[in-house]
Structure 1
Amino acid sequence: MGDLINPLVLEWLNLAFRWFHVVAAIAWIGASFYFIWLDLSLREPPQWKADKGVKGDLWAIHGGGIYEVAKYHLRPQEMPKKLHWFKWEAYSTWLSGTGLLILMYYLQAQTYLVGYNTLIQSPGWAVVASIGFILGGQALYELLLRTPLVKRGLLFAAILLLVISVASYLAHLLFSPRAAYLHVGAMIATWMAGNVFWGIMPAQRKFVAAVSNNEAPDTCAMAFAKLRSTHNNYLTLPVIFCMLSNHYSFLYSHVYSWLVLVAIGLCLAWGRHFFNLKHLGVVKPFILLSSFSGLVLVAVLMAVTSPASIAAKQAEKAAIVTSAEQSVSTDERINQLIHVHCTNCHAAVPSQPGFNAAPAGLVIDSTVHLAAQKVRALPALSSGYMPLGNFHHMTDLERKTLIDWLAQQ
């Protein structure tokens, strides 16, 4: 499908959508973090403010001025003519992210969405599976929100962790490793945008309408909206991790990449809990320390079980080629494999349609260049993620030949 669009046009569209997506996400995350901090930082107001209906207040200094912020139980004595709403930060982030998903993974499905040895090898069906994965995840989340389980915080968090774990495993069965990480992030981001669209905004509209007419608002709906906002706060850091993971192939190319995603996401959400408690005046360094220790533990376990470590152990058991003639023959074979399977994309001027430059700026057109990228190349080859799209049908024997050669470098 990507062949229908000029590669240069596709790159410009990708740049435009990515830039807008990042800017919109910064605005959304900033607003989310600010209002959670604000709500948790409000303190008991003086009596004269309480008499006017103020529930809590806060004083802050920023940009050369002192600000006074107050939150009302219901409404001020006179409703303001201009009331600022926060919704388009979320909507524009989700819409631009969806645009990126279409440009990168749907229009170039054979290259980026279809994985090596995954259950789905058809680009068309992979796109259908992608849409079903995200919409199915959204439907399940909304269904869980409407069960009594939502009132039991820790249990509900455990259930969401289980859902994300199953989703991560399923995504790795259906899509390429890089796309799998992106899809788990897209699913959670859809939960977050859905929280704004399906829950927070409708509740706020009803609340404003009620207090404007001096009617009793639906406090349960507002409490539910606040709960959705809290969910978004804890899910933000795992989503950012998923979206940035495409820059780090050692993560999504690991043999247990689906579990790595879950473990790191859990550590990040747990670390976020420290700051939320701190806003309330409760400081528990153990939470931050355990979150960091968890990330270190994940890194250590990944190193022990990495494809590079496994390949190195296998290489120690293998016979070492010592004759000059054999060495030359091996290098010639590796060069042949590089020129067949690598240089179509990783060349100064790629021949593969859709590529105007080598991905990530990595030029791999010789054994010297491949050896220099050993740390990246070994996990990418071992997981089957590379060659991207496997256009020239690298065999398992050819893959093993490259892996064994790299392990000895």
Structure 2
Amino acid sequence: MTTFLAEWANILLRWAHLVAGIGWIGTSFYFIALDLSLKKRARMNPGVYGTAWEVHGGGFYHVEKYMVAPKELPEDLIWYKWEAYLTFLTGFALLTVQYYFNARAYLIEPDLWNARPGDAILVSILSLAAGWFVYDRLLCRSFIGRNTTLLAVSVFALIMAFSYLFTHIYSGRGAFIHVGALVGTIMAANVFAVIIPNQKKITASLLKGEDPDPSLGATGKQRSVHNNYLTLPVLLMMVSNHYPILTNHPHSWILVALILVVGAMARHFLNRHEAGDPFQKIWWTLPVATAGLAVALVMTAPAPREATVDGVQVTDADVLAISARHCTACHAAKPTHEGFAEPPKGVVLTDVAKLRQYAALIDQQAVKSDAMPLGNETGMTADERRALGAWIAAQ
């Protein structure tokens, strides 16, 4: 019953996280695109920075942006904040259910750091808090934050430093999900601790009849742009547990760097294209993104394999024995592993026909990477992985 309830908690939290995240990403993409489409016009209301005309759903919209705020605010002012808050809350709850409650299986990698679950969880929480502190206090609020290029390089270096840490203490999937959680925490905290409080201060000043501090709006815009450029990389981090070719690469922290570069370049191209920039001004983003992707492809390309191990052909019986030792506790019609009531993804590995059917998945999860068994709790050896690879190569 515990496994059944945990599975449903995972399903519902993942669903809620996706719904909230889609809402947050949608508003982020929309408002950045709106900002970039604003134009100065001959006739605009006092205090208006720019306007945009848009068409959608059979109607036309005329949008005005005030850099600080108009002299009077309507009672029905709309605040966009709960999508960000709920994305973070559901994401952290999902991190708890999936990785904290199952730290031995999903988070801890004994060959890197044979930690107690409590220690691994404590480092996780402290690292997320530390990442926000360094980003907010030591980078954005310092002299670095006044130089866009220097700040971008510094934030990249910050994420890379934590990526290196995570990939050297946690499992492959645990490391990547923590990079995503770190970036997601920074993004949500930008909304909760900077963007919305600044907007509230501006509103309070207006209600008192005072002139708002224009730096509050500028800071909020800066953090909003950061969130926009981090969105594409963090999305791939959040689904990375499906791709051990990324998470279990021996230099996966370098792949994180490439994902950041490719995602940021793609986002910059789309942003500036939406703003109407000529191709001549933004063409350079495409070869940079292509180069980053090419390096990732080369890094993850599979090495050729022999169909034998030490000149000896691996038999079906050999592979069945390996599967019985390391796979069938979970991947059986009725798993004996306490964490699973059903075989994960419906994959059953109890006979040769099934092993052949799922050979590509086995190769990806247990030969080209050590993603399986989870946490290598059964102690699968390098020789056994080579034997599996040789058997698959001979099929």
Normalising by structure 2, what TM-score? 0.92
- What is the aligned partner in structure 2 of residue 370 from structure 1? 355
**1:384 CA drift (Å):** 2.5
Paired residues for 1:326-337 under 5 Å: 330-337=315-322
Between 1:387-396 and 1:125-134, the stretch displaced more is: 387-396
Aligned with residue 383 of structure 1, among 349, 357, 369: 369
**1:367 CA drift (Å):** 3.9
More helix by share: 1
Contact map agreement 1:115 1:385 (CA 8 A) in 2 = no
Between 1:101-110 and 1:274-283, the stretch displaced more is: 274-283
| 1:302 matches 2:286 | no
Aligned letter for 2:41?
Answer: P
- What is the aligned partner in structure 2 of residue 113 from structure 1? 107
What do the CA deviations read for 1:285-307 (whole angstroms, capped 9, x no partner)?
A: 52453255235403431343x3x
Separation in structure 2 between the aligned mates of residue 82 and residue 376 of structure 1, nearest angstrom:
53
Could you tell me which runs of 5 or more consecutive residues in structure 2 were left unpaired when the two chains were aligned. none
Contact map agreement 1:120 1:126 (CA 8 A) in 2 = no
Separation in structure 1 between the aligned mates of residue 251 and residue 348 of structure 2, nearest angstrom:
28
SS for the counterpart of 1:61 is: strand
- What is the aligned partner in structure 2 of residue 62 from structure 1? 56
**1:54 CA drift (Å):** 2.2
Separation in structure 2 between the aligned mates of residue 349 and residue 316 of structure 1, nearest angstrom:
32
Separation in structure 1 between the aligned mates of residue 209 and residue 68 of structure 2, nearest angstrom:
10
Contact map agreement 2:40 2:49 (CA 8 A) in 1 = yes
- What is the aligned partner in structure 2 of residue 43 from structure 1? 39
Aligned with residue 220 of structure 1, among 215, 223, 231: 215
Aligned letter for 1:346?
Answer: H
Aligned letter for 1:45?
Answer: R
Root-mean-square deviation (CA), in Å?
A: 2.2
Separation in structure 2 between the aligned mates of residue 16 and residue 169 of structure 1, nearest angstrom:
32
Between 1:91-100 and 1:269-278, the stretch displaced more is: 269-278
Aligned with residue 312 of structure 2, among 293, 317, 321: 321
Could you tell me which runs of 5 or more consecutive residues in structure 1 were left unpaired when the two chains were aligned. none
Separation in structure 2 between the aligned mates of residue 44 and residue 246 of structure 1, nearest angstrom:
46
Aligned residue pairs total 391
Contact map agreement 1:349 1:356 (CA 8 A) in 2 = yes
| 1:161 matches 2:156 | yes
Normalising by structure 1, what TM-score? 0.89
SS for the counterpart of 1:22 is: helix
Paired residues for 1:144-159 under 5 Å: 144-159=139-154
Separation in structure 2 between the aligned mates of residue 129 and residue 407 of structure 1, nearest angstrom:
41
Contact map agreement 2:99 2:107 (CA 8 A) in 1 = yes
Contact map agreement 1:24 1:92 (CA 8 A) in 2 = yes
| 1:186 matches 2:186 | no
Separation in structure 1 between the aligned mates of residue 361 and residue 378 of structure 2, nearest angstrom:
21
What do the CA deviations read for 1:3-62 (whole angstroms, capped 9, x no partner)?
A: xx7111111111111111000000000111111111111111332x23x33221111111
SS for the counterpart of 1:383 is: coil
Contact map agreement 1:251 1:257 (CA 8 A) in 2 = yes
Contact map agreement 2:68 2:217 (CA 8 A) in 1 = no
- What is the aligned partner in structure 2 of residue 340 from structure 1? 325
Separation in structure 1 between the aligned mates of residue 58 and residue 334 of structure 2, nearest angstrom:
52
| 1:392 matches 2:388 | no
SS for the counterpart of 2:283 is: helix
Question: Identity of aligned pairs, percent?
Answer: 40
Distance change (3 Å), C-alpha of 1:278 and 1:257: same
- What is the aligned partner in structure 1 of residue 287 from structure 2? 290
Separation in structure 2 between the aligned mates of residue 17 and residue 319 of structure 1, nearest angstrom:
48
Distance change (3 Å), C-alpha of 1:367 and 1:132: farther
Aligned with residue 7 of structure 2, among 7, 11, 23: 11
**1:400 CA drift (Å):** 3.7
Contact map agreement 1:45 1:55 (CA 8 A) in 2 = no
